[in-house]
Amino acid sequence: MSTDFIPVNEPLLNGNEKKYLNECIDTGWISSEGPFVKKFEDTFAKKVNRKYGVAVANGTAAIDIAIEALSISKGDEIIVPTFTIISCINQILRIGAKPVFVDSDPITWNMDVSQIEEKISLKTKAIMMVHIYGLPVDIDPIIELAEKYNLKIIEDAAEMIGQEYKGKPCGSFGELSTFSFYPNKHITTGEGGMLVTNDKQLAEKCRSLRNLCFQNENRFIHENLGWNYRMTNLQAALGLAQLEQLDNFIIRKRKMGHLYDNYFNSINCIQIPKTKTKYANNIYWVYGIVLKNECSMNAKEVMQQLSQYGIGTRPFFYPMHLQPVLNKLGLLKKESYPVSENLYLNGFYLPSGLSLTENKINFISETLYKILS
């Protein structure tokens, strides 16, 4: 039995984080007005081949702003994967629009792009593609559909910082892309997020929405409603230091993923992440496992046993179409998305944070092997 608990994530803060944070404190620039915010926005946007970056309080805020900035309104429909986090549909519901769900691909766990076209209606205004866990969505078919039906694309790249699709950065597709910098992401600002775009007017609209729609000359006269979703200079300083290390972080993540792969390739009762597709190599944001039918336990039981050895885990997403809040709102007919439902019942992920050592990966892997055997 291990005496040291291994959390599901620990960030790595071994670069210029202290230096930049001390600079904020020494100069007194700790609010959203500080110079690190613009520096972080510009550097991050350039990293993902975008012209404009808009730093915000968190990844959920980025999605809220993206939906509002694209003028999605009551009665509109947005196509969304059902296997995702609820942040993706919060603002859709609040404005009276409707999320229309598609199931997951059983191999990549991303939205099954072959199901999208049949869900498009005259009310459809946008497709939200959400990259899940380590591999990106197959983007080209979505772009083709968006052009064919004159739809907007929101790219949720929160879990794909540093990932590429066919050699192009995730976050460089669609009208707007959103990111999260929560501590379990490849770079962190503690809490924080970002919108990126190539459209100057859209960027300005996002900046206004994050800042309560204050006006330049008549500050306290409001033509529109926004949010206080600003990022602080302290957060941006942390983010900039993290961004400087991103390339090394990605190398580290892939090495960790391959270490897990080497242990689990021979276990027939589990599905491990696909190493690569025709359009991307896995970035292993988290190391997910799906138990197959021949396994005598479900995910919850395996996770409970791992916790007895001091190993933290986290379940896969609970599908959106099963969420009680949506059923209370009466928005769904009886819908079934079997792949996503199976991923929730039989999927979980192991400790995957950047601070994880090879010795701990060995211990986790040997313990899981023992439990499954």
Query: Does 172 reside within a domain?
Result: yes
Q: Is the residue at 260 inside a domain?
A: yes
Based on the structure, what is the number of domains in the chain?
Answer: 2
DSSP H or E run through 291: strand 287-291
Going 59 to 63 to 64 to 66, the CA torsion angle's sign is positive
Residue 2's pLDDT is what? 45
Is 221 found in the same domain as 112? Answer: yes
Domain stop point among 243, 261, 280: 243
224/344 same-domain check: no
Q: What CATH number is attached to the domain comprising 322?
A: 3.90.1150.10
Residue numbers of the chain with a pLDDT score lower than 70: 1-3
Q: Indicate whether 256 belongs to any domain.
A: yes
Residues 134 and 190 occupy one common structural domain: yes
| 232 and 289 assigned to the same domain | no
The range of the structural domain enclosing residue 222 comes to: 17-243
Distance CA 227, CA 124 (A): 26
C-alpha to C-alpha distances, 105 to 81, 160, 340, nearest whole angstrom: 10, 18, 8
Kindly state whether residues 229 and 330 are assigned to the same domain.
Answer: no
In a domain, 6, yes or no: no
SS3 label, residue 8:
coil
Q: Strands 77-81 and 98-102: what pairing?
A: parallel
Terminus-to-terminus CA distance in the chain, angstroms? 17
- Could you tell me how far CA 134 lies from the centroid of its own chain? 10
pLDDT at res. 3: 53
DSSP-derived secondary structure letter, 34: S
What's the whole-model pTM score? 0.95
Helical (H) or strand (E) element with 239: helix 233-243
Q: Are 163 and 230 in contact (CB under 8 A)?
A: no
Considering the domain architecture, whether residues 83 and 209 belong to the same structural domain is answered as yes
| Domain end residue (candidates: 243, 276, 301) | 243
Cα–Cα distance for residue pair 113/12, rounded to 1 Å = 34
CB 355 within 8 A of CB 6: no
Query: Do 325 and 262 share a structural domain?
Result: yes
What is the pLDDT at residue 331? 76
Domain for residue 268, yes or no? yes
- Three-class SS state of 271: strand
Closest CA to 20 of 7, 9, 35: 35
The CA distances from residue 256 to 111, 291, 358, 362, in Å, are 25, 20, 8, 10
Taking the C-alpha atoms of residue 3 and residue 308, their distance in angstroms, rounded to an integer, is: 10
CATH of the domain at 134: 3.40.640.10
CA–CA distances in Å: residue 209 to residues 179, 204, 220: 17, 9, 14
What separation in angstroms does the CA of 311 have from each of 128, 364, 368?
34, 7, 10
Q: Are residues 305 and 222 in the same domain?
A: no
pLDDT score for 332: 75
**Residue that finishes a domain, picked among 202, 224, 243:** 243
What integer pLDDT is reported at residue 4 of this predicted model?
84
Q: Are residues 175 and 282 in the same domain?
A: no
Alpha-carbon gap, residue 170 to 56, rounded angstroms? 19
